């Protein structure tokens, strides 16, 4: 049976000692309420909810899955899921970071991210339901009209209704310019939405009475391609401008997908047959509104990879300490036992340390991005807001791409620690490996994140976010240049960041001559960037631990894990650099026919 304990000690260390959120929130308007007492209370209560309510439903939800009734077009979620959502809403979690004027608590996004990691580690499938609502609420807050915020946003924040994102169609995923869903205007200002959307998370379920679908569609006079996309809100039950609930809308679940993992999270085919909807934002400007939802979701999915890494690591570590298997190569470490536990063996330690390094370093990377989002939202300094926005934009594909790919690597390593027992359902490890696989696919595949990072955030936008991030790393290294305790890390970090800058300039020059170089290098550039970013946060972690009141054992563990990261994981950048330097020809010279 798989176990989960919220990593409260490391979350507090990340928030207080490394990121110093107390000082940041104290100076940001609207964040002063997030004192240490409040943060600790949220973390502790969140831990209780995730450990005691969500985690026990994880395996049963996977085994039971969701059930679709074709006669009623309704979906029944696994036993206990609906009740858990009720408790979540009753406790006020649903509106934790939402604006108070819409019924939320107005706490910082970073605090919501810490809670989300715990939710995803405890029960990734269940966590998808509130995650989609958060994205829908964000789109309405930024792009909706006043009456839409009043009528639709408040019920979302209160948890009376939930939301979805309806983007993908059977013939188009990433290339939204190909979508065919149509929107015809009605005399009363509403629209008739017709088309089919697929892969719709939480498109139909039994948690609440009404579901708000945010649907991309084309107006009759829309230009071709992505410039002709508009965003519409289509409720399961019709809702008038006065907030009155009407009849069942022509927005029905046609079927649900049978998936490799996240069985407790329903994935729907949604059919819109002249369904009543309302335009959100300006006509033909739906892509901007969609990216408000998408960017929110991409950071959130990065946290899913982090949560799975943490959960898998906890169970692999416990098993490695308990399972007796052979003797250490240097002689018995536990001579009173018939064999030594797995944890004495070097390669088992390699797998465990890989998980630990990604979990603790990835936690800092993810929370740092959310701190920048809080600064972007609340700072009164225009230059500071601009810098934070550039950093969030730059880091989003790294958080999403690296932490989800790390989630796959770490859940597989955790399963490997269990050996054959990891392949057995009862131990829970195979579920994490299956659940992790989707995180690199939805909300933009790893390849999409890579192209977004190199092609748009670095080259098209002149690398503004990268420059800010490199400047921050440079300032940190300068500050600690004479710190003998950090010398083993600062020197390699300086070298890695210089090489990062150099290879970025080289790729920019090559892309100017041949744009195919962007696609050929993007994947490796994403990982190169991610590994250097984690190196920075690991050095910060060691510095913060040394300066903290943490126990000597805690401080030693941080240093030794950082040493492992620099010796065993950071060197992966050299392979990625070699791949980037090989150029596009190694991929494009072979003809289509020669693939076989």
The residue written with tokens 């190169």 in the block is 528
pLDDT tens, position by position, 534-556: 999 999 999 999 999 999 999 99
Q: Where are the beta strands (DSSP E) in 39-157?
A: 67-69, 74-76
Tell how strand 210-217 and strand 251-256 pair up.
Answer: unpaired
The model's pLDDT over 73-105, given as tens digits with 9 standing for 90+, comes to 999 999 999 999 999 999 999 999 999 999 999
Nearest residue to 401 (alpha-carbon basis) of 458, 456, 362, 459: 362
Among the ranges given (228-232, 291-295, 298-302, 335-339), the one the predictor scored with the smallest mean pLDDT: 291-295
The pTM score is 0.97
In this structure, what token pair is assigned to residue 475?
């300032």
Instruction: Tell me 480's DSSP state.
Output: T
The tokens for 473 are 């790393």
How are beta strands 161-166 and 210-217 bridged, if at all?
parallel
In sequence order, the 6+-apart residues with CB closer than 8 A to the CB of 462 are none
Residues marked active site are found at 443
- Alpha-carbon distance values, 577 to 185, 335, 404, 496 (Å): 53, 46, 21, 11
Pair type for strands 267-280 and 230-235? antiparallel
Question: Looking at residue 341, what DSSP letter applies?
Answer: B
DSSP letter for 200, please. Answer: E
In CATH terms, the fold of domain 8-143 is Butyryl-Coa Dehydrogenase, subunit A; domain 1 (1.10.540)
Residue 321 and residue 561: Cα distance in Å, rounded?
Answer: 18
Contact 443, 422 (CB under 8 A): no
- Using CA atoms, how far residue 535 sits from 488, 563, 565, in Å, is 12, 10, 7
CA within 13 Å, CB half, 268: 31
Span 141-168, mean pLDDT? 96
Task: Say what the pLDDT of residue 290 is.
Answer: 82
Residue whose C-alpha is closest to residue 212's, from 231, 189, 237: 237
Residue 168 tokens, joined: 């993908």
Which residue do the tokens 């939930």 mark? Answer: 162
Give the percent of the chain with pLDDT over 70: 100
For 407-420, write each residue's pLDDT tens digit: 999 999 999 999 99
Domain ranges of the chain: 8-143, 163-286, 462-587
Q: How many CA atoms lie within 13 A of 221 on its CB side?
A: 2
CB-CB neighbours of 549 under 10 Å = 7
Average pLDDT, the chain: 97
What pLDDT score does 296 carry? 87
Q: Kindly compute the dihedral angle of the four CA atoms of residues 235, 240, 243, 247, in this order, to the nearest 10 degrees.
A: -60
pLDDT at 564: 98
Output the pLDDT for position 470: 98
Instruction: Dump pLDDT digits (tens) for 208-244.
Output: 999 999 999 999 999 999 899 999 999 999 999 999 9
Reported for 169-176, long-range contacts at CB under 8 A and 24+ positions apart, including other chains, are 169/195, 169/196, 169/197, 169/198, 170/196, 170/198, 173/199, 174/444, 174/445, 174/448, 176/216, 176/226, 176/229, 176/287, 176/290
E runs forming strands in 23-73: 67-69
Q: What percent of the chain has pLDDT over 90?
A: 96
User: Measured between alpha carbons, how far is 7 from 407 in angstroms, rounded to an integer?
Assistant: 17
CATH architecture assigned to 163-286:
Beta Barrel (2.40)
Contact 197, 257 (CB under 8 A): no
pLDDT of residue 508: 97
Please report which confidence band the pLDDT of residue 483 belongs to, taking 50, 70 and 90 as the band edges.
Answer: very high
Give the residue-averaged pLDDT of 188-215: 97
pLDDT band at 559, cuts 50/70/90?
very high
Residue 441: partners with Cβ closer than 8 Å, 6 or more residues away: none
Torsion angle in degrees (nearest 10) through CA of 544, 550, 552, 557 = -60
Evaluate whether 311 touches 122 at the Cβ level (below 8 Å): yes
Rounded (to 5) percent helix, strand, coil in the chain: 65, 10, 25
Kind of pairing between the strands at 191-201 and 74-76: unpaired
Q: Which of 121, 60, 77 is nearest to 265 (CA)?
A: 77
């Amino acid at each position: 049976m798989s176990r989960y304990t919220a990593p409260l000690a490391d979350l507090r260390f990340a928030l207080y000692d490394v990121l110093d959120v107390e000082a940041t929130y104290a100076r940001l308007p609207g964040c002063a309420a997030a004192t240490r007492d409040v943060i600790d209370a949220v973390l502790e209560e969140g831990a209780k909810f995730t450990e005691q309510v969500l985690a026990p439903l994880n395996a049963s939800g996977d085994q039971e899955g969701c059930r679709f009734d074709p006669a009623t077009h309704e979906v029944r979620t696994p036993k206990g899921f609906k009740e858990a959502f009720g408790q979540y809403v009753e406790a006020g979690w649903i509106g934790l970071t939402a604006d108070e004027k819409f019924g939320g608590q107005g706490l910082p996004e970073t605090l919501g991210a810490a809670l989300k990691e715990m939710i995803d580690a405890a029960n990734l499938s269940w966590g998808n339901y509130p995650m989609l609502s958060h994205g829908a609420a964000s789109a309405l807050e930024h792009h909706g009209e006043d009456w839409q915020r009043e009528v639709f946003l408040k019920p979302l924040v209160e948890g009376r209704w939930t939301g979805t994102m309806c983007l993908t169609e059977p013939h188009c995923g990433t290339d939204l310019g190909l979508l065919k869903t149509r929107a015809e205007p009605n005399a009363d200002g509403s629209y008739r939405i017709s088309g089919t959307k697929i892969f719709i998370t939480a498109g139909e379920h039994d948690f609440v009475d009404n579901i708000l679908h945010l649907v991309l569609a084309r107006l009759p006079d829309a230009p071709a391609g992505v410039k002709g996309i508009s965003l519409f809100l289509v409720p399961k039950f019709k809702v008038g401008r006065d907030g009155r609930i009407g009849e069942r809308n022509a927005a029905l679940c046609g079927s649900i997908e049978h998936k490799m993992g996240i069985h407790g999270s329903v994935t729907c085919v949604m059919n819109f047959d002249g369904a009543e909807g309302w335009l959100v934002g300006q006509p033909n400007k739906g892509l901007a509104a969609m990216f408000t939802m998408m960017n929110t979701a991409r950071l959130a999915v990065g946290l899913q990879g982090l949560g799975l890494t943490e959960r898998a690591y906890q169970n692999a570590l416990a098993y490695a300490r308990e399972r007796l298997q052979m003797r250490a190569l240097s002689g018995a470490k536990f001579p009173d036992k018939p064999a030594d536990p797995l944890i004495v063996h070097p390669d088992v330690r390699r797998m465990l340390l890989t998980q630990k390094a990604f979990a603790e370093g990835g936690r800092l990377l993810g929370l740092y991005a959310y701190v920048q989002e809080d600064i972007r939202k609340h700072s009164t300094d225009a230059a500071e807001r601009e810098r934070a926005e550039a950093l969030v934009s730059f880091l989003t594909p790294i958080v999403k791409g690296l932490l989800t790919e790390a989630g796959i690597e770490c859940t597989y390593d955790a399963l490997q620690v269990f050996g054959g027992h990891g392949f057995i359902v009862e131990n829970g490890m195979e579920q994490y490996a299956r659940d992790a696989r989707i995180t690199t696919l939805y909300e933009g595949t790893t390849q999409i994140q890579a192209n977004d990072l190199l092609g748009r955030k670095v080259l098209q936008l002149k690398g503004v976010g990268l420059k800010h991030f490199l400047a921050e790393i440079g300032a940190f290294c300068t500050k600690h240049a004479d710190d003998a305790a950090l010398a083993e890390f600062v020197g390699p970090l300086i070298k890695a960041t210089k090489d990062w800058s150099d290879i970025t300039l080289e790729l920019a020059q090559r892309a100017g001559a041949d744009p195919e170089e962007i696609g050929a290098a993007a994947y490796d550039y994403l990982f190169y960037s991610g590994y250097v970013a984690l190196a920075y946060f690991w050095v910060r972690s060691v510095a913060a631990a040394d300066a903290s009141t943490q126990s000597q054992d805690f401080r030693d563990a941080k240093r030794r894990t950082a040493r492992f990261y620099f010796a065993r994981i950071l060197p992966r950048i050299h392979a990625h650099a070699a791949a980037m330097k090989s150029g596009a020809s190694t991929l494009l010279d072979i003809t289509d026919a020669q693939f076989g």
